[in-house]
Amino acid sequence: MVWFTFSKEVEYCTPACNHKQKTLSDRIIRAGTNYNLFYMVINLSEQHSLVSNWVSELRDVDVQQDRMRFRRNLERIAEVIGYEISKKMPWEEKEITTPLGISNSKVLAEQPVLATILRAGLGMHTGLLNYFDKADNAFISAYRKHNPDGSFDIHMEYMSCPEIEDRIIIISDPMIATGSSLVKSIEFLKEEGNIKELHIVCAIACTVGIEYVRRAFPKATIWCGDIDDEITAKGYIVPGLGDAGDLAFGAKMQG
C-alpha cells in the first residue's frame, strides 16, 4: 500500500517502511488502493492496467483518426475513475427485498454532482454518468481565446448547475495543461455554493497544471489517466495527445 503527504517535499511509504523523498520537480506521484487521504493526486498509469492501454490509444496518431474510438476511450477511463471514486464516497446499509428474502446491501448515501467543461469534457462526463446514473449534472462553458502574440485568455460564458451547497462535486476535463481553465471553472461553480468534497477527473495532466490546481484547491483529489512533465509556451502538453475536443468532435472555428 502506498500513501502520501504533500508538502514542499512529496513523501511516500511502502509496506516495508522504506522511506524516500521526491521533490515536486521530480513529478513522481504514486498511489495504491488506500484512498482515505484528505487529498491526493492519483496517476492510474503508474502501474500497467487497461487504463494505460486506453491512454496509449488516445495518444496514438493513427488510432486518433477514429473519433468514435477516441470518445469511447475517454468514457472508459472516466468509468474506471468513477468506480474508484465511489469507494471513497459515504455509504449506508439498506434492506433490499429480493424474490427470495431480504438482502442488507451497501449503497451510496448521497449522489454526487457531475460537472464538466464544454465541449472537450463531454466524453469523460458520459463515462462518469454511465456509472453515477442518478447524479445531478452541471455544465460550464470555458475556452481559450487566443491572442495574436500567441498568448490566450480564459473566457467563461455559460453555466447550468443544480444546487451544489455541501455536495460532492466530480468535475471532468480531459486535459489539465496550465490548469487555468479548470481553476476558473471551479471558481465559477463555487459561486453557486460551498463544495463539500471535490474530485477532478482527467485523461492526461501536466505537472505544471497539477501544481497550479493544487495551489488553488489544496483539498481536491485529482485523478489522472496519466501525467506528463512538459508543456509548450502555448500551453499544450508534451507528449500529450493534441486537442482532445477536436479529436473527439472535429475541428472548430475560433475568432
- CATH code of the domain covering residue 73: 3.40.50.2020
Give residue 197's pLDDT band: very low, low, confident or very high (50, 70, 90): very high
Assess if residue 124 is contained within a domain.
yes
Q: How many domains does the chain have?
A: 1
- Is it the case that residue 150 has pLDDT exceeding 50? yes
Q: What's the confidence (pLDDT) of residue 235? A: 84
Q: What is the pTM of this model?
A: 0.82
Q: Is residue 100 assigned to a domain?
A: no
3-state secondary structure of 226: strand
| Domain presence at residue 99 | no
Give the dihedral of Cα atoms 78, 82, 84, 86; nearest 10 deg: 180
Residue 113 located in a structural domain: yes
**Quick one: pLDDT at residue 218?**
93
Ranking 2-11, 86-95, 141-150, 213-222 by mean pLDDT, the lowest is 2-11
Using the predicted structure, report yes or no on whether residue 151 has a pLDDT greater than 80.
no
17-64 pLDDT, tens per residue? 333 333 333 333 444 334 333 459 999 999 999 999 999 999 999 999
Alpha carbon 27 to its chain's center: 17
* Contact indicator for 226, 239 with CB cutoff of 8 Å: no
Confidence category of residue 149, pLDDT binned at 50, 70, 90: low
Residue 143: the pLDDT is 66
Comparing C-alpha atoms, which of 55, 88, 96, 95 is closest to residue 239?
55
pLDDT at 162 over 90: yes
Any domain includes 144: yes
Residue 95 pLDDT level (bands cut at 50, 70, 90) = very high
Residue 157 lies in a domain: yes
101 assigned to some structural domain: no
Give residue 234's pLDDT.
Answer: 80
- In a domain? residue 254: no
Strands 91-98 and 101-108: antiparallel
Choice between 41 and 156, residue whose per-residue pLDDT is larger: 41
- Omega cis (within 30) before 67: no
Look up the domain containing 151 and give its range.
3-90+106-249
